[in-house]
Structure 1
Amino acid sequence: MQLTHWASLPPIADIPLPEKLTSLGLGTLPHNPDLSFLHQVPPVQKLNLEGSGSPLHLADLSAPSGLRWLRLSGFDLSEGFPVLSASVRVQELNFYRCAFPADIDALNGIDSLRSVFFGECHGPDPGPPLDLSPLAGRTAPTQLTVEVGSTQAVTGTEHLGPGIRVRYR
């Protein structure tokens, strides 16, 4: 289920969501959205959040049980990235047009992570390429596939070990 223009919709608790909902997309969340509403979302496997600013209560991304795939688009994660990485236990993460801290090492803490996508993302300052070298410290037993969008500039791939493969789309 894709709900766009979230700012004009009623609170999620007031929307009759199907019991067997497997995928939920919320587009155009307000600037600096408060994600505490995620405690009211039924268990979903896929969650797509689009917005701007720095999301509040990133730890609440752990609320939807059974969450395996998460896409965040348009957010500034430069401050809250460690909280996000400590909260989610997903297999696939997708970031599109997001800002990150200089060190994305916090991704190494998600043992369940098998795939991460970066598209048009940047570090704390727009311009320089996103540095993937912190992922070289990953010790999780699962192999990690890093997918890089066609317009995404990255560095540090030469430091990644055999458990991490990089694919360009």
Structure 2
Amino acid sequence: MSRRPDKLSEDDRVLWNLVARTARPLKGRMAVDIPDIVVDPKPVQVPAVVSAVVAAKPKAQHVSHALDEPTLDRLKKGRLPIEGRVDLHGMTQDEAYSLLFSFLHRAHAGGIRYVLIITGKGSSSGGDGVLRRAVPAWLSTPAFRPLVSSHDHAARNHGGSGALYVRLRRVRG
């Protein structure tokens, strides 16, 4: 099998470094030193509005952001394909926001319509997870509006309350 001649994109390199840092060496092997992530000149900044939205309790989801019932049923039963998924477990809010933003941009540019965002259910000490509360609020912000058409909680077999179905807007032109 031959290697691809092209290099990793910056988004792929950041994602790979996040994954590589969580890997543990096999017993009896030495750990490989992973260089720091090279930050591009224009990093994605979390808007101050997002921090305020995350700090406040999320309000009930607007009807305009909820998936329609027939679509939700087809996603739950597996009759409508989920074309992409991203797992935000164990990330800080800044890492999760950046990864989610770049993932949704790539998926939207690729013409993907339905994705699954896995936030996790949160801490086991009884509190709601930070990302579980934050991601639906982020999807309603102006930064995500050109990408996201609607979103709703996933079915139990897709992660239940620890995951979201997202319908992306159609690519224009």
TM-score over 0.5 (shorter chain): no
Higher RCO (CA < 8 A, seq sep 6+): 2
TM-score, structure 1 normalization:
0.31
Query: Greater helix share, 1 or 2?
Result: 2
Query: Greater strand share, 1 or 2?
Result: 1
TM-score, structure 2 normalization:
0.31
